[in-house]
Chain A
Amino acid sequence: MDSLHTYSSELNKQYGIKNIPIIENIWGHRFRTDQTPSILLFELMCVIESQLQAKNVGLINSIFNPENDKLYFKHRQFFKLRILIYQNEILETLINSKLTDEEKWERQFDHLKALEGDLFQFKDDDIEHIRNNFSTFESFYNAVNILSSLTFDPLSKKRWTSKFIYPISSEYIWCDFDNKRQSEDRRFFCRGGEIVYLMLCRADHRVREELEEKFESWLSPQNNSFAKLANLLVRPEVRKDLKLREEVRKDLGYLPYHQLPIFSEFAQDLSNILSLELERLDKVKVMIDIIGYHIGNYILSIGESYHNTSNPTELKRPNYLVEILSKVTNSIRKTSIQSISTQRNKLKRSLATRVGDIVSLYEDVIEAETELEDNSDKERKISKQIENAESYLATHISNYPNVCFREIGFLSKKNTRSYRYVLTEDFLHSLVLTILGNEKRMEYSNFKNDLKERYSIFVDVTPDNYQEVIQRDLNRNSKNLASLLYQMGMLRHLSDACSYVINPYKEDSV
């Protein structure tokens, strides 16, 4: 039987990895805790947009193809727009000053022309573009302010080249960048988005086709005011200028699994979200949540499958016993806290079961670094490599599901000292929309069933191996979930334990 995974003995050369790529061969290259689910989405959109450019010039056949492993275009940069929004403090001073419009324009343009760096400096064409499009300085100011209001996490102290706007159209898709070194770096775009992209490429053919169509539509020119404003402020970026020569085309990240059922489920969920009759800003929020869930779930699934064997025949999934936030502690909370600890241990053990196989692939690398026939030196070096891998696991892999789940509202420490799985309003909102899709309603017990079957989220029943949970607590948990959905306006009580989960964007109700 085919193995679930494949190992690569070339990763260190391919990606310039200094250590033996043990973690990379198990979970992929790579995930880091700096890359939250929202930044995963931003990177993913960049990759998809680049691949769309490649498809348009005939370099690849389709955006989502299992064969795709390279980037043919640099990511969108769009520095001029980003400067106007994030590196333009003079704007506020000018608008409040008593200068005439002409004087304000002059000062503004002087500032923009004086910026250092070829990538950032405004040229005469850029200035003319702005001047021709805005009749008054105030309109220009308002336009910049309006776009600024769409900034994701506006209060963060990140460098301006790591600030993003919600990617509601292609005008707002751009890369992370090191403005000091004037090059892309991996500070936040750590390749997690590339791994997400690779997962989508390895989904079922039918789902890939759906995704292709929907993302192409998403990235096609939009006629709304936000898109118009971006085009009025800056000239369009000439994408062909960012095309990479063949010898410098970049490899995408590495994903050690060719086909897993969770890839198709992930892709299907994204496809469902994109087809929702919902506004784009709302869809972005739901997409972030679903990406966060699936990536955390992927990492834990690898731990679940490999903790006691180095070659499982099928992927096992972790179980999530969730508490609907309550004030008092109960058996569900205790079991949920315990399960997180167990899942982390499985991640450690899965490293231990597989490290031997991976290290043996890189024997030549180790031998090249050790003294001839000095076995103890070789052992030491191998131990060091394993230590490094364990350290990376502890810092970035074990923690990563927590990072993802915390951001989306699937994990919480509220009222406790330890994390446990919860269903907060935000995440529940996303789950309802993803499960219901464009359906108006679904019977409540079917909804709970879908939570269990599709997402391994347990509310009123336990997985087989959870013996300690009391039935009374489970019943109350189910009641609390119904109560929460009702307060959110997403549940309609009919009678006698008959309730419907409703989609408020489709059904006439408040």
Chain B
Amino acid sequence: MAWKVNKWIKYLEGYCQGKNQIQDEYVRKVAQNLGIEEPLNIKFEWQQQIAHEFDSKETHGVIILTGTAGDGKTKLCRDIVKQIDGSAFDEENWNASSFFCSADRTIVKDFSELSSKETNIVINELTTVLTQGRAEKPILIAVNDGILVEELSNFISLSSDTELVIKATQLKDIIEDKINLGFSLCEQQELIKLVNLSKLNAKENFSLILNEILNHVGWDDCEGCEGKINGQCPIYQKYDLLKNNENIRENLSNIILLLQLNNEHFTIRELLNLATNTILASTPKAKPLKLSNRDTSYQTFSCSRVKKIDDLSLIYTESSIEVGFWGMNLGPHRMNNARPYSEINKLNFGELSTNYWDNLLKNKALRSVEIPLDSFNSLITSKKSSEVDLNPDLWGAVVKRSRIQLYCYQEGDQRSYDLQKYSSFSFYKNKVYESLQSNDSCNDFELVSTIILALNRVFHGRFISENSGSDRLYIPEKDQGSITPISIFHGEELRDREVYVTKIKGDFDVTGSRIEPVVEFYISRDKSLKLALTVELFDFLYRVSKGSPPNTTNPRLYKKLLIFRSKLASQVNFSNGLSNQRIDTYTIKGGEFKTSALQVNHG
């Protein structure tokens, strides 16, 4: 038997490199040079939908693809054109230019690469669509978020045609609204469709990417390799673990979901990096995370590196699945500063725990899953660390990594999110996220009551009991400001039926769009205010509803909510007919929110 060198692994290694390495064209060239017939080609459902929308014969339109570098804008453009042109698609011609303009269509592959003249042509075409009220031909533009707005601003400032300036300004307002809020209320906004690839569901994308990697035919070339046969290859071990344990894949992708619901976006490029690093990671670099003195001078394994290792059994324990996903192999600086690892590590997995989990950690018999670090179980169960002559770094590494492994390996335990910063995520996922996947709004009574109770505590002071202030939101009278923490004068009330948990709707719903929950407060039939319901905000509200003091639990969020209170108070019309007759104040007695009129005689 001999160790083989699999070209597929070498190809995957390319995704672990820096950003420039993962441009679409570069990837194709690498695959070609390695003799791989099919590079990774993930078929995202949303690509099909956008291509269909663009090619629709019924209505021509403008589609602007925005997003950040690595979201897949250029690749999507190419795939759309290739799908439409079929065999007539010319790869060389496509690679040679960024701008394709004809009577039938306009396609901009990368707006930032256009010359000034080409930029002007494109902007003129877009303003013409607004002027005429329709598009004469389909227009597809791929552009980074800020560049289009900047170019429009330059165009407006240099143009002397008043009508053109008006339309260009309207266009800029529509685009700015859509990239910031996801929607626009400007006139004619429906003519400009904006697909923000940053708004795609990163959890789903990660799952698709991981599945595509794990199911790729390239792994077949590992057949007959010594490492696979004797079960000692760390790369194949991790591949095998992920392929055969759906719960582990689900648990990892749920971390992406949590971050995404906290307004973190991960580009396709970052997810490819994350997925391949998870499989190919070597051993942790930082001493507080190492289980042995064994060091590897490289961050990722390759076939040629693995076959030179002589103590593979040690590597099995050291190079486990969490090393790559949390970026431990990249060193502390990149772990904490380079995306996506920096965001994952901010959740403090491994640092936080509960009695339940530490008990499970100690008592293997109570668990249904085994983890690689069970080989260190005696260390955890020993009563006195001093008796075992313990290395504090080793103890820290074992505990932290064991907790992370417990999370990765557990199967649907509702308490698993207690192992990180936002322990209410389980509640949030069930009541908010899963509900909004199939519905436009959440109707859960408990959810809305929790939010209202928390907001009442924030707005009016935390001494409101759970019996009071969970079915209606008491909004202070206008002009008490956001700098005064406790409001005094009673204003309007919003009943719980006027508070909804919904989601933002973009231009058109593509499969794989991410869900962005918002709390919507209907202050009148036609008017509502929205509050983005991120995981962080929900966790804060959840804790406050259980009694945590608002101003110290998260001082920054507290201040922001006071600003929101100010906004609510300003917007609400005080339509109470008695407003000129009474002065309503509120008091909190025995935890009960009581509004009372100051007994005055003035009408």
A→B interface (CB under 8 Å): 132-136, 139, 142-143, 146, 149, 168, 223-226, 228-229, 232, 277-282, 285, 440-441, 443, 487-489, 492, 494-498, 500, 502, 504-505, 507-510
Contact = CB atoms under 8 A, between A and B. Distances in A.
B555 to A, nearest CB: 10
13 contacts: A135-B601, A139-B598, A139-B599, A143-B600, A225-B585, A278-B566, A279-B478, A279-B570, A281-B481, A282-B483, A443-B150, A495-B69, A495-B144
Contact of B532 (A281, A500, A509): A509
B347 to A, nearest CB: 18
A489 B562 CA distance: 12
A495 B147 CA distance: 10
A226 B477 CA distance: 10
Contacts of A134: 599-601
Contacts of A168: 479
Contacts of A149: 484, 488
Interface string B143-177: 01111011000000000000000000000000010
A500 B600 contact: no
Contact of A498 (B144, B583, B600): B144
B556 A508 contact: no
B600 A139 contact: yes
Contacts of A225: 477, 489, 583-585
B601 A510 contact: no
Given A146-B488, A494-B179, A279 B598 contact: no
B294 interface: no
Given A279-B478, A492-B180, A495-B67, 13 more contacts: A134-B600, A168-B479, A223-B580, A225-B583, A225-B585, A226-B479, A278-B570, A280-B479, A282-B566, A443-B150, A489-B559, A494-B146, A497-B146
B480 A279 contact: yes
Contacts of A509: 532
B570 A135 contact: no
Given A232-B602, A441-B176, A500-B180, A495 B561 contact: no
B531 A136 contact: no
Given A441-B176, A505-B566, A224 B477 contact: yes
Interface string B569-601: 110000000001001110000000000001111
B600 A135 contact: yes
Nearest to A138: B599
B180 A489 contact: no
Contacts of A132: 601
A425 to B, nearest CB: 8
A496 to B, nearest CB: 5
A282 B482 contact: yes
Contacts of A488: 556, 559-560
Nearest to A277: B570
B145 A495 contact: yes
A432 to B, nearest CB: 11
Contacts of A226: 479, 489
Given A280-B481, A496-B68, A229 B583 contact: yes
Contacts of B228: none
Nearest to A233: B600
B601 A281 contact: no
A281 B560 contact: no
Nearest to B518: A508
Contacts of B570: 277-279, 505
Nearest to B520: A508
A502 B560 CA distance: 13
A134 to B, nearest CB: 6
B567 interface: yes
Contacts of B534: 510
Contacts of A280: 479, 481
Contacts of A494: 68, 145-146, 179-180, 198
Contact of B530 (A277, A443, A508): A508
B522 interface: no
Q: Which 8 A-B pairs have the closest CB atoms?
A: A281-B481, A498-B146, A495-B68, A135-B599, A494-B145, A508-B530, A489-B560, A139-B599
B181 interface: yes
Nearest to A281: B481
Contacts of B580: 223
B145 A508 contact: no
Which of A168, A229, A282, A492 is packed against the most chain B CB atoms within 10 Å?
Answer: A282
Contacts of B145: 494-496, 498
Contact of A510 (B479, B560, B566): B560
B529 interface: yes
A509 to B, nearest CB: 6
Nearest to B569: A279
Interface in B539-580: 556-557, 559-561, 563-564, 566-567, 569-570, 580
A224 B599 contact: no
A504 B556 CA distance: 13
A135 B275 CA distance: 72
A504 B563 contact: yes
Contacts of A232: 600, 602
A507 B529 CA distance: 9
A407 to B, nearest CB: 15
A479 B600 CA distance: 54
Interface string B245-262: 000000000000000000
Which of A142, A277, A440 is packed against the most chain B CB atoms within 10 Å?
Answer: A142
B371 interface: no
A224 B532 CA distance: 31
A158 to B, nearest CB: 21
Nearest to B150: A443
B557 A510 contact: yes
B537 interface: yes
B564 A510 contact: yes
Contact of A281 (B149, B484, B559, B561): B484
A497 B150 CA distance: 12
A505 B531 CA distance: 12
A285 B559 CA distance: 15
Contacts of A223: 580
Nearest to A142: B598
A146 B476 CA distance: 14
B563 to A, nearest CB: 5
Contact of A136 (B149, B585, B599): B599
A346 to B, nearest CB: 36
B560 A504 contact: yes
B583 A508 contact: no
A226 B144 CA distance: 50
Nearest to B66: A495
Contacts of A135: 599-601
Given A508-B531, A510-B531, A282 B481 contact: yes
Given A226-B479, A510-B537, A495 B146 contact: yes
Contacts of A496: 68-69, 144-146
Contacts of A278: 566, 570
A278 B562 CA distance: 13
Contact of A443 (B149, B478, B529, B556): B149
